[in-house]
Chain A
Amino acid sequence: MGQTIVVRDLRKRYGDVQAVNGVTFEVEEGEFFGILGPNGAGKTTTLEIIEGLRQADSGTVEIFGQSPWPRNPKLLPRIGVQLQASAFFERLTAREQIRTFASLYGTAQAEADEMLEVVGLADKAATPAEKLSGGQAQRLSIACALVHGPDLVFLDEPTAALDPQARRNLWDLLRDINKQGRTVVLTTHYMDEAESLCDRVAIMDRGEILQSGAPATLVRGLDSMTHISIESGLLSLTEAKALAGPGDDVTDDGVSLQFSTPSPAPLLAALAERRALGGLRVRGATLEDVFLHLTGREYRA
């Protein structure tokens, strides 16, 4: 498969801040690629340079083998960009919004109406965009980005500020978009989202990519503890400490008895043998642990 996006040693400085500091990565055709990072990591600037909204100080970007800067009208019809939910014309209904965007690309009105159906907004077609709920507005925003059938889609934090139902609902939509063969580039703060959707992620901080790869590979590469918890009272703390290995940590807060261990298999076997598995929860490392391990835990605004 070909490379849809090739980024080489991208750099961009704003005054004293080196926003992007030598970013290199590739996105393959049909891939679901995630860019993760805390606020101010340089995700947005990197995306804006790739989309052709900003000029890099140095480095190269190629999309479908072409440079997006300066504004490249041949490239634009092949790219769909979803900005934040409020990027709508004021006081137009959902149908008018998507038809307006469709006409900018020379796409037929009927296709615009069809896309509204795809994102499940056919019954909201006559509702002004301002009156849509958060999830509906995001779906409309994504529909507007997809209306001209782009091969490459950029999604900027598409599930920010959505309730859990709306997020899951949107994930299904995003998976469908990717299954149709489109390449998707996503930025997000939600690690579960990236883990669930992305084939590959890049974790960015301070303008650099710290690590990239498949989420599962990154998690496995993190040498971390597994947390096992059962109901309190099944075992006394002394019994529990006897079962645990030498490096393990055991605590009982009166609700749950919790073990933190680097080798969960023998411990689980021992617990099973004693029929002490009531309320069992096993939590391994997640992408979030990888993220925090790489970017640190200090608070940042």
Chain B
Amino acid sequence: MNALSSLSRAMLLGFLRDKASVFFTILFPLMFLLLFGVLLQDPGVSKSDVVQIGAVPIVDQMPADARARIGEVAALTKSTDREDALAKVRTGDIDAVVEQTGDTVVLHYSAADQVRAGSVRGVFDSLIMSANTADRPPKYSLDSRQVEDASLKPIQYLTPGLLGWAVAMGATFGAAMTLVTWRQKKILRRLRLSPAPTGAVVAARVGVSVGLALVQTAIFIGVAMTPYFGLTLSPFWWMSIPLVIAGTLAFLSVGLLAGGVAKTAEGASGIANLVVLPMAFLSGAFFPMEGAPSWLQAVSQVMPLRYLNEGMIDVMVRGQGPSAVLMEMGVLLGFTAVVSIIVVKVFRWDDV
């Protein structure tokens, strides 16, 4: 065995034999997936953006009080470009598209956000019901169409978000803990006194973390795809693999920074928690960010986890092509590069 493989093996065994690490890295996020998947609750939503294509008489001719009621939950805008509007629903930029052919009102929505889709559907349901009470038999009918595959369930958007959080946590804690405990136990010093190249130590950590992240991904997708949860992957789901790798690198650098600054394992774990947990909430890993105040959304734009989550939802659920997540991957890798430079500055072989 060479230095790289034996160090990777030592790191992996050290991880696998620590039951607490295995639990918090792999099982703990999985518990959240099960919990949220089973008990999905309405988090309360802000106004939905609905785009109207062409003439929709039932909307155009609705009475003022009905218009006001709709105005409370949805912001209506008009557009003539049907394809563009539908694409925006798919990417989550707008929440629904409404059009009317004859007496049928067609509502296009995305299953990536069930809650919002439900509230928009509710609005149009009641609108059509009130329009129908005048004439009988019912004149108008509502045809709601999901822009994605019709079989989507909440697990579809929970899986990418929670997986992103799990990957971020695993990479951050793995790197921070290795760095601090190896420094405290003088293993780093011992390695520096051996002819093994410094790069082998870093490469071993990167390799082990990326490997674990991919195992996490496989377990998450595997559990989510069981019939009970019923996850169906979009055709470009495999793009989540390079995304997970880029995300792992980004959070490895965060972990190395935490481990470089902290003196003890407790300190490193504290810093890692302080970074990852609020970031998970602010990046939409647990719930959508659309309902948050705009300043909070601006904050979330600087969080690397936000880009990992967006990218994961794009390729795993929204069915977008590989090129759609290049920007997200670029942000993650750029973040990695910047943090790595700081890591090199604060790195210490020894406590003193």
Evaluate contact between B3 and A51: CB separation under 8 angstroms. Answer: no
Indicate if B9 sits at the interface (CB-CB under 8 A): yes
Q: How far is the CA of A89 from the CA of B2 in the complex (A)?
A: 17
- CB-based contact B186/A73 at 8 Å: no
When the two chains form the complex, which single residue of B187, B193, B196, B197 contacts A89, counting CB atoms closer than 8 Å? B187
Chain B 1-21 per-residue mask, 1 if CB under 8 angstroms from chain A, else 0: 111011101100110011000
Number of A-B residue pairs having CB atoms within 8 Å of each other in the complex: 71
Select which of B6, B186, B194 is within 8 A of A84 by beta carbon: B186
Identify B14's interface contact among A73, A89, A103, CB under 8 A.
A89
In the complex the two chains form, is B10's CB within 8 Å of A92's CB? yes
Contact with B along A127-154 (1 / 0, CB 8 A): 0000000000000000010000000000
A88 to B17, CA, bound (A): 15
Chain A interface residue bracket vs B: 20 to 34
Q: Give Cα distance in the complex from A46 to B66, angstroms.
A: 85
Does A71 belong to the interface (CB within 8 Å)?
yes
Whether B195 is near chain A, meaning CB under 8 Å from some CB there, is: yes
Residues of B within 8 A of A118 (CB): none
Q: Could you tell me if A73 and B13 are in contact, using CB atoms closer than 8 angstroms?
A: no
Q: Is the CB of B1 within 8 A of A73?
A: no
**Quick one: which of A11-52 are within 8 Å of B by CB?**
51-52
Within the complex, which residue of A73, A90, A100 is in contact with B6, where a contact is CB–CB below 8 Å? A100
- Chain A residues whose C-beta falls within 8 Å of the C-beta of B186 in the assembled complex: 83-84, 86-87
Does A103 lie within 8 Å of B193, measured CB to CB?
Answer: no
In whole angstroms, what is the CA distance A100 to B196 when docked? 11
Residues of chain B within 8 A of A87, CB atoms compared: 185-187, 189-190
Chain B residues with Cβ below 8 Å from A144 are 190
Say which residue of A53, A81, A91, A100 sits within 8 Å of B17 (CB atoms). Answer: A91
B144-200, CB < 8 A from A: 181, 185-187, 189-197
- Inter-chain contacts of A88 with B (CB < 8 A): 185, 187
| Docked CA distance A176–B212 (Å) | 45
Which of A81, A103, A109 is the one whose CB lies under 8 Å from B190?
A81
Partner of B193, one of A81, A84, A90, A99: A81
- In-complex Cβ contact of B192 among A71, A86, A109 (8 A): A71
Interface presence of A267 (CB below 8 A): no
- In the assembled complex, which residues on chain B have CB atoms less than 8 Å from the CB atom of A51? 193
Q: Point out the residues of chain B lying under 8 angstroms from A59, CB to CB.
A: none
In the bound assembly, the distance between CA atoms of A87 and B197 in angstroms comes to: 19
A92 to B181, CA, bound (A): 14
Query: Is A91's CB under 8 angstroms from B13's CB?
Result: yes
Q: How far is the CA of A83 from the CA of B184 in the complex (A)?
A: 12
Q: Which of B7, B14, B190 has a CB less than 8 Å from the CB of A83?
A: B190
Report B-chain residues with C-beta under 8 Å of the C-beta of A84.
186
Q: Shortest distance in angstroms between A58's beta carbon and chain B's nearest beta carbon?
A: 20
Check A291 for interface membership: any CB of B closer than 8 A: no
* CB closest chain-A residue, reference B2: A103
Point out the residue from A92, A101, A104, A106 that lies within 8 Å of B13, measured CB to CB. Answer: A92
**Contacts A87-B190, A100-B9, A103-B3 known; A76 to B195 CB distance under 8 Å?**
yes
Cα–Cα distance between A92 and B3 once the two chains are bound (Å): 16
Q: Is B93 an interface residue (CB 8 A)?
A: no
Interface residue B266 (Cβ < 8 Å from any Cβ of A): no
CA distance A262 to B1 in the complex (A): 63
Q: Which residues of B contact A92 (CB under 8 A)?
A: 10, 13-14
Query: 8 Å CB contacts to B: which residues of A56-77?
Result: 71, 73, 76-77
Residue ID in chain B nearest A108 by CB atoms: B1
- B351 close to chain A: CB less than 8 A: no
Q: Does B103 contact A (CB under 8 A)?
A: no
Cα distance A87–B189 in the bound complex, in angstroms: 9
B349 nearest in chain A by CB position: A53
Across-interface contacts of B6 in A (CB, < 8 A): 99-100, 103-104
**Distance of A99 Cα from B7 Cα, bound (Å):** 10
From B9, B185, B197, B350, give the contact of A90 (CB < 8 A).
Answer: B185
| CB-nearest residue of chain B to A72 | B195
Distance A86 CA – B191 CA, assembled complex (angstroms) = 14
Q: Is A166 an interface residue, CB under 8 A from the partner?
A: no
> Hey, which bits of chain B sit against chain A, CB under 8 A?
1-3, 5-7, 9-10, 13-14, 17-18, 181, 185-187, 189-197, 349-350
The 9 A-B residue pairs with the shortest CB-CB distance, nearest first, are A103-B6, A91-B17, A87-B186, A104-B194, A104-B196, A76-B195, A103-B1, A89-B10, A90-B14
Given contacts A81-B190, A99-B6, A104-B7, 17 further A-B contacts (CB under 8 A): A53-B193, A53-B350, A73-B197, A76-B194, A83-B190, A86-B185, A86-B186, A90-B181, A91-B18, A92-B14, A101-B194, A103-B1, A103-B2, A103-B6, A104-B6, A104-B191, A105-B195
* 12 cross-chain CB contacts under 8 A: A53-B192, A73-B195, A86-B185, A87-B187, A87-B189, A89-B14, A101-B194, A103-B3, A104-B191, A104-B195, A105-B194, A105-B195
